[in-house]
A and B are shown apart, each in its own frame.
Chain A
Amino acid sequence: DAKTTQPTSMDCAEGRAANLPCNHSTISGNEYVYWYRQIHSQGPQYIIHGLKNNETNEMASLIITEDRKSSTLILPHATLRDTAVYYCIALITGWAGSYQLTFGKGTKLSVIP
Protein backbone atom coordinates (compact mmCIF):
# COMPACT_ATOMS: atom_id res chain seq x y z
CA ASP A 1 0.00 0.00 0.00
CA ALA A 2 1.26 3.47 -0.87
CA LYS A 3 2.38 5.76 1.95
CA THR A 4 0.22 8.79 2.55
CA THR A 5 1.17 12.08 4.16
CA GLN A 6 -1.29 14.40 5.85
CA PRO A 7 -0.95 17.56 7.95
CA THR A 8 -1.11 16.86 11.65
CA SER A 9 -3.91 19.32 12.38
CA MET A 10 -6.19 21.92 10.80
CA ASP A 11 -8.81 24.38 11.98
CA CYS A 12 -11.94 25.35 10.10
CA ALA A 13 -14.66 27.88 10.92
CA GLU A 14 -18.13 26.45 11.35
CA GLY A 15 -20.15 26.73 8.15
CA ARG A 16 -17.09 27.08 5.93
CA ALA A 17 -15.65 24.41 3.66
CA ALA A 18 -12.97 22.22 5.18
CA ASN A 19 -10.29 21.15 2.69
CA LEU A 20 -8.11 18.31 3.91
CA PRO A 21 -5.08 17.48 1.75
CA CYS A 22 -3.36 14.13 1.35
CA ASN A 23 -0.16 13.33 -0.49
CA HIS A 24 0.26 9.84 -2.00
CA SER A 25 3.04 10.31 -4.52
CA THR A 26 3.90 6.58 -4.76
CA ILE A 27 0.36 5.41 -5.40
CA SER A 28 0.04 2.63 -7.96
CA GLY A 29 -2.49 2.46 -10.75
CA ASN A 30 -4.84 0.05 -9.00
CA GLU A 31 -4.77 1.63 -5.54
CA TYR A 32 -7.85 3.49 -4.44
CA VAL A 33 -7.80 6.53 -2.18
CA TYR A 34 -10.04 6.05 0.85
CA TRP A 35 -11.03 8.54 3.51
CA TYR A 36 -12.23 7.57 6.97
CA ARG A 37 -12.77 9.65 10.06
CA GLN A 38 -12.79 8.91 13.75
CA ILE A 39 -14.74 11.08 16.13
CA HIS A 40 -13.29 11.02 19.63
CA SER A 41 -13.63 7.61 21.33
CA GLN A 42 -15.80 6.19 18.53
CA GLY A 43 -15.16 3.59 15.87
CA PRO A 44 -13.91 4.77 12.47
CA GLN A 45 -16.47 5.83 9.89
CA TYR A 46 -16.14 5.52 6.13
CA ILE A 47 -16.49 8.81 4.23
CA ILE A 48 -15.66 8.36 0.55
CA HIS A 49 -13.28 6.69 -1.87
CA GLY A 50 -12.09 7.11 -5.44
CA LEU A 51 -9.65 5.87 -8.05
CA LYS A 52 -9.18 8.54 -10.71
CA ASN A 53 -12.28 10.67 -11.02
CA ASN A 54 -13.59 13.15 -8.54
CA GLU A 55 -16.30 11.72 -6.31
CA THR A 56 -19.14 13.23 -4.29
CA ASN A 57 -21.58 11.76 -1.81
CA GLU A 58 -23.84 13.10 0.89
CA MET A 59 -20.94 13.58 3.29
CA ALA A 60 -18.09 14.98 1.21
CA SER A 61 -16.32 15.45 -2.09
CA LEU A 62 -13.02 13.90 -3.10
CA ILE A 63 -10.79 15.67 -5.59
CA ILE A 64 -7.92 13.57 -7.00
CA THR A 65 -5.22 15.28 -9.08
CA GLU A 66 -4.74 14.12 -12.65
CA ASP A 67 -1.38 12.49 -11.81
CA ARG A 68 -3.03 10.86 -8.74
CA LYS A 69 -0.16 11.92 -6.51
CA SER A 70 -2.41 13.88 -4.16
CA SER A 71 -6.04 14.36 -3.23
CA THR A 72 -8.26 16.69 -1.20
CA LEU A 73 -11.26 15.80 0.91
CA ILE A 74 -13.81 18.61 1.00
CA LEU A 75 -16.49 18.93 3.68
CA PRO A 76 -18.62 21.65 2.09
CA HIS A 77 -20.20 23.16 5.21
CA ALA A 78 -18.32 22.03 8.29
CA THR A 79 -20.23 21.66 11.53
CA LEU A 80 -19.00 21.12 15.07
CA ARG A 81 -19.88 17.43 14.70
CA ASP A 82 -17.23 17.18 11.96
CA THR A 83 -14.47 17.67 14.53
CA ALA A 84 -12.53 14.41 14.22
CA VAL A 85 -9.32 12.78 13.02
CA TYR A 86 -9.44 12.22 9.27
CA TYR A 87 -7.47 9.39 7.70
CA CYS A 88 -6.39 9.12 4.08
CA ILE A 89 -5.48 5.60 2.95
CA ALA A 90 -4.27 4.26 -0.38
CA LEU A 91 -4.82 0.56 -0.94
CA ILE A 92 -5.99 -2.14 -3.28
CA THR A 93 -9.29 -3.66 -2.28
CA GLY A 94 -11.71 -6.24 -3.48
CA TRP A 95 -10.67 -9.73 -4.40
CA ALA A 96 -7.15 -8.66 -5.38
CA GLY A 97 -6.50 -6.65 -2.29
CA SER A 98 -6.39 -6.36 1.42
CA TYR A 99 -8.92 -6.85 4.18
CA GLN A 100 -7.07 -4.52 6.40
CA LEU A 101 -7.63 -0.87 7.15
CA THR A 102 -4.27 0.55 8.19
CA PHE A 103 -4.41 4.11 9.45
CA GLY A 104 -1.53 6.48 9.90
CA LYS A 105 -1.70 9.48 12.22
CA GLY A 106 -4.29 11.36 10.16
CA THR A 107 -5.30 15.03 10.34
CA LYS A 108 -7.04 16.31 13.44
CA LEU A 109 -9.72 18.71 12.17
CA SER A 110 -11.09 21.16 14.71
CA VAL A 111 -14.24 23.02 13.65
CA ILE A 112 -14.36 26.35 15.46
CA PRO A 113 -17.71 28.02 16.33
Chain B
Amino acid sequence: NAGVTQTPKFRILKIGQSMTLQCAQDMNHNYMYWYRQDPGMGLKLIYYSVGAGITDKGEVPNGYNVSRSTTEDFPLRLELAAPSQTSVYFCASSYSREVYEQYFGPGTRLTVT
Protein backbone atom coordinates (compact mmCIF):
# COMPACT_ATOMS: atom_id res chain seq x y z
CA ASN B 1 0.00 0.00 0.00
CA ALA B 2 1.19 3.53 -0.77
CA GLY B 3 -0.82 4.90 2.18
CA VAL B 4 -1.69 8.59 1.88
CA THR B 5 -0.11 10.41 -1.04
CA GLN B 6 -0.08 14.14 -1.69
CA THR B 7 0.89 16.17 -4.73
CA PRO B 8 2.64 18.49 -5.30
CA LYS B 9 5.35 18.46 -2.62
CA PHE B 10 6.14 22.15 -3.08
CA ARG B 11 4.37 25.03 -4.80
CA ILE B 12 4.80 28.79 -5.05
CA LEU B 13 1.69 30.77 -5.93
CA LYS B 14 1.19 34.44 -6.65
CA ILE B 15 -1.51 36.32 -4.76
CA GLY B 16 -4.91 35.73 -6.38
CA GLN B 17 -3.94 32.52 -8.18
CA SER B 18 -5.82 29.27 -7.63
CA MET B 19 -4.67 25.71 -7.24
CA THR B 20 -5.78 22.27 -6.13
CA LEU B 21 -3.83 20.17 -3.67
CA GLN B 22 -4.30 16.50 -4.40
CA CYS B 23 -4.69 13.78 -1.78
CA ALA B 24 -5.28 10.10 -2.33
CA GLN B 25 -5.36 7.03 -0.08
CA ASP B 26 -5.43 3.35 -0.96
CA MET B 27 -6.47 1.98 2.43
CA ASN B 28 -10.23 2.14 1.76
CA HIS B 29 -10.64 4.63 4.62
CA ASN B 30 -13.96 6.42 4.93
CA TYR B 31 -12.64 9.40 6.87
CA MET B 32 -10.31 11.97 5.33
CA TYR B 33 -8.98 15.26 6.66
CA TRP B 34 -7.10 18.36 5.57
CA TYR B 35 -4.90 20.17 8.10
CA ARG B 36 -2.60 23.13 7.79
CA GLN B 37 0.49 23.74 9.89
CA ASP B 38 1.97 27.22 10.04
CA PRO B 39 5.70 27.58 10.82
CA GLY B 40 6.45 26.64 14.43
CA MET B 41 2.79 25.99 15.16
CA GLY B 42 0.49 23.02 15.58
CA LEU B 43 -2.10 21.57 13.23
CA LYS B 44 -5.43 23.17 12.40
CA LEU B 45 -8.26 21.25 10.72
CA ILE B 46 -9.52 22.84 7.49
CA TYR B 47 -12.11 20.35 6.22
CA TYR B 48 -12.96 16.73 6.75
CA SER B 49 -15.06 14.07 5.08
CA VAL B 50 -16.81 11.03 6.54
CA GLY B 51 -17.38 9.36 3.17
CA ALA B 52 -17.83 9.96 -0.54
CA GLY B 53 -20.16 12.89 -1.13
CA ILE B 54 -20.03 14.13 2.50
CA THR B 55 -17.78 16.95 3.67
CA ASP B 56 -17.82 19.39 6.56
CA LYS B 57 -15.88 22.39 7.80
CA GLY B 58 -13.17 22.23 10.38
CA GLU B 59 -11.66 25.03 12.42
CA VAL B 60 -10.24 27.17 9.57
CA PRO B 61 -12.24 26.59 6.34
CA ASN B 62 -12.27 30.14 4.95
CA GLY B 63 -10.52 30.44 1.59
CA TYR B 64 -10.70 26.71 0.86
CA ASN B 65 -13.09 24.25 -0.77
CA VAL B 66 -13.16 20.48 -0.91
CA SER B 67 -14.99 17.72 -2.71
CA ARG B 68 -15.15 13.96 -2.19
CA SER B 69 -16.45 12.18 -5.24
CA THR B 70 -14.67 8.90 -4.50
CA THR B 71 -13.50 7.10 -1.36
CA GLU B 72 -9.89 7.39 -2.50
CA ASP B 73 -9.54 11.10 -3.36
CA PHE B 74 -10.01 14.28 -1.33
CA PRO B 75 -8.71 17.35 -3.19
CA LEU B 76 -8.38 20.75 -1.50
CA ARG B 77 -9.00 23.85 -3.63
CA LEU B 78 -7.57 27.30 -2.94
CA GLU B 79 -9.51 29.82 -5.02
CA LEU B 80 -7.81 33.20 -4.46
CA ALA B 81 -4.48 32.59 -2.82
CA ALA B 82 -3.44 35.00 -0.07
CA PRO B 83 -0.13 35.27 1.84
CA SER B 84 -1.96 34.05 4.98
CA GLN B 85 -2.35 30.69 3.25
CA THR B 86 1.41 30.13 3.23
CA SER B 87 1.68 26.91 5.19
CA VAL B 88 2.35 23.19 5.06
CA TYR B 89 -0.78 21.23 4.20
CA PHE B 90 -1.28 17.69 5.46
CA CYS B 91 -3.90 15.25 4.31
CA ALA B 92 -4.84 12.37 6.60
CA SER B 93 -7.22 9.44 6.53
CA SER B 94 -8.68 7.00 9.01
CA TYR B 95 -10.92 3.94 9.06
CA SER B 96 -12.91 5.25 12.00
CA ARG B 97 -13.36 8.40 14.04
CA GLU B 98 -10.67 7.32 16.46
CA VAL B 99 -7.95 9.94 16.55
CA TYR B 100 -5.15 7.42 16.92
CA GLU B 101 -5.98 5.89 13.60
CA GLN B 102 -5.24 8.96 11.51
CA TYR B 103 -2.56 8.31 8.89
CA PHE B 104 -0.86 11.34 7.44
CA GLY B 105 0.57 12.09 4.04
CA PRO B 106 3.99 13.71 3.54
CA GLY B 107 2.60 17.23 3.16
CA THR B 108 2.53 20.00 0.55
CA ARG B 109 4.62 23.09 1.29
CA LEU B 110 2.83 26.13 -0.18
CA THR B 111 4.19 29.65 -0.40
CA VAL B 112 2.00 32.55 -1.55
CA THR B 113 3.88 35.71 -2.55
Residues of A within 8 A of B (CB): 32, 34, 41-46, 49, 87, 89, 91, 93-95, 97-106
State which residues 8-46 of B face A: CB under 8 Å. Answer: 31, 33, 35, 40-45
B102 at the interface (CB under 8 A from A): yes
Per-residue contact bits, chain B 72-113, to A (CB 8 Å; 1 contact, 0 not): 000000000000000000101000011111101111000000
Min Cβ gap A86→B in Å is: 12
B interface residues, tally (CB under 8 Å): 25
A-B contact count, CB below 8 Å?
Answer: 68
Query: What 8 pairs between A and B have smallest CB-CB spacing?
Result: A43-B104, A103-B42, A100-B45, A93-B99, A46-B100, A103-B43, A43-B90, A49-B100
How far apart are the CA atoms of A101 and B43 in the complex, in Å?
7
A49 to B101, alpha carbons, bound, how many Å?
Answer: 11
Q: Which residues of A contact B99 (CB under 8 A)?
A: 32, 34, 46, 49, 89, 91, 93, 97-99, 101
Shortest Cβ distance from A46 into B: residue: B100
